Amino acid sequence: MEEQPEEVDEVEARARTALSGKFAMDFSHGAVYFGYVTEHYPPDLERGEMTKELFHVECDDGDEKDMDGREVAPAIELRRRCGI
Protein backbone atom coordinates (compact mmCIF):
# COMPACT_ATOMS: atom_id res chain seq x y z
CA MET A 1 0.00 0.00 0.00
CA GLU A 2 1.39 3.37 -1.03
CA GLU A 3 1.76 5.95 1.75
CA GLN A 4 0.28 9.40 1.27
CA PRO A 5 2.44 12.47 1.80
CA GLU A 6 2.25 13.97 5.29
CA GLU A 7 0.73 17.21 3.96
CA VAL A 8 -2.26 15.26 2.57
CA ASP A 9 -2.83 13.75 6.02
CA GLU A 10 -2.77 17.26 7.54
CA VAL A 11 -5.38 18.51 5.06
CA GLU A 12 -7.63 15.52 5.80
CA ALA A 13 -7.20 16.04 9.56
CA ARG A 14 -8.20 19.72 9.26
CA ALA A 15 -11.21 18.77 7.17
CA ARG A 16 -12.38 16.13 9.68
CA THR A 17 -11.97 18.59 12.56
CA ALA A 18 -13.82 21.37 10.75
CA LEU A 19 -16.68 19.15 9.58
CA SER A 20 -17.17 17.65 13.05
CA GLY A 21 -19.20 20.41 14.67
CA LYS A 22 -20.22 24.00 15.14
CA PHE A 23 -18.14 27.13 14.82
CA ALA A 24 -18.58 30.65 16.17
CA MET A 25 -17.75 33.97 14.54
CA ASP A 26 -17.22 37.14 16.57
CA PHE A 27 -18.05 40.30 14.67
CA SER A 28 -16.73 43.76 15.49
CA HIS A 29 -20.11 44.91 16.84
CA GLY A 30 -19.92 42.27 19.58
CA ALA A 31 -22.38 39.72 18.20
CA VAL A 32 -21.30 36.08 18.07
CA TYR A 33 -22.85 33.94 15.34
CA PHE A 34 -22.80 30.17 15.27
CA GLY A 35 -22.96 27.77 12.34
CA TYR A 36 -21.57 24.64 10.74
CA VAL A 37 -18.85 23.85 8.24
CA THR A 38 -20.78 21.94 5.57
CA GLU A 39 -18.22 21.43 2.79
CA HIS A 40 -14.46 21.14 2.48
CA TYR A 41 -12.62 22.02 -0.72
CA PRO A 42 -9.00 20.82 -0.41
CA PRO A 43 -6.19 22.68 -2.17
CA ASP A 44 -5.80 21.52 -5.74
CA LEU A 45 -3.50 22.15 -8.67
CA GLU A 46 -5.70 23.87 -11.23
CA ARG A 47 -4.30 25.13 -14.54
CA GLY A 48 -0.79 25.14 -13.11
CA GLU A 49 -1.75 27.11 -9.98
CA MET A 50 -2.49 25.82 -6.50
CA THR A 51 -5.97 26.77 -5.30
CA LYS A 52 -6.58 27.68 -1.66
CA GLU A 53 -8.12 25.23 0.77
CA LEU A 54 -11.67 26.45 1.45
CA PHE A 55 -14.46 25.55 3.86
CA HIS A 56 -18.10 26.34 3.07
CA VAL A 57 -19.93 27.48 6.20
CA GLU A 58 -23.60 28.00 6.93
CA CYS A 59 -24.50 30.26 9.83
CA ASP A 60 -27.54 29.71 12.04
CA ASP A 61 -28.96 33.01 10.73
CA GLY A 62 -28.99 31.59 7.16
CA ASP A 63 -25.89 33.37 5.90
CA GLU A 64 -23.38 31.26 3.91
CA LYS A 65 -19.80 31.91 2.86
CA ASP A 66 -16.51 30.26 1.98
CA MET A 67 -13.69 30.63 4.50
CA ASP A 68 -10.05 29.65 4.27
CA GLY A 69 -8.17 27.75 6.96
CA ARG A 70 -6.91 30.95 8.60
CA GLU A 71 -10.53 31.99 9.21
CA VAL A 72 -11.98 28.59 10.14
CA ALA A 73 -9.41 27.64 12.80
CA PRO A 74 -10.15 30.66 15.07
CA ALA A 75 -13.91 30.18 14.54
CA ILE A 76 -13.68 26.57 15.74
CA GLU A 77 -11.55 27.65 18.71
CA LEU A 78 -14.06 30.40 19.64
CA ARG A 79 -16.84 27.81 19.60
CA ARG A 80 -14.82 25.67 22.03
CA ARG A 81 -14.26 28.67 24.31
CA CYS A 82 -18.01 29.38 24.25
CA GLY A 83 -18.58 25.86 25.54
CA ILE A 84 -20.67 24.72 22.59
**Does 28 reside within a domain?**
yes
Domain that holds residue 55: 6-81
Q: What single-letter DSSP state applies at residue 9?
A: H
CA–CA separation, 27 and 75 (whole Å) = 11
In a domain, 1, yes or no: no
Number of domains in the chain: 1
Q: How confident is the model over 25-49, as pLDDT tens digits?
A: 776 667 788 888 888 888 887 777 7
Cα separation, 12 vs 58, in Å, equals 20
Instruction: Flag whether 74 is in a domain.
Output: yes
Helix (H, G, I), strand (E, B), or coil: what is residue 84? Answer: coil
Give the global pTM.
0.66
CA dist., res. 53 & res. 27, Å (int): 23
pLDDT, tens digit (0-9, with 9 covering 90-100), for 41-78: 888 877 777 788 888 888 888 889 898 888 888 888 88
Return the SS3 of 3. coil
